[in-house]
Amino acid sequence: LYLNAANHAPGAACRRLTLSRSPSSYRISFVVAPNHTIHDAFRGQRVTWTHHVETTQDSLEEKRSFTLHLPKRYHHSGCV
């Protein structure tokens, strides 16, 4: 389970995770609250995950996305 880093990262800013499971599945998922960020570490580099939620006008639908930010030096190292 990937949540290991979210609990142990120094200065973790994520205050709310939502646990969900669809009625037709046995799998559970944890979702970061809308517009919250998790500060994490991957292979010794600090990274941040941000959960974005946009609501469309005149509709009940939402567009959800995650943004992963890596340091430039890590991106250019060829490890991604």
In 1-80, DSSP assigns E strands to 17-20, 29-32, 37-42, 45-55, 62-69
User: SS3 of 26, please?
Assistant: coil
The C-alpha atoms of residue 49 and residue 35 are separated, in whole angstroms, by 10
24 or 9, which is more confident: 24
pLDDT at 75 (0 to 100)? 55
pLDDT in tens, 68-79: 888 877 655 555
pLDDT in tens, 33-66: 888 888 888 878 888 888 888 888 888 888 888 8
Average pLDDT over residues 23-38: 82
Phi, psi of 36 (to 5 degrees): -105, 155
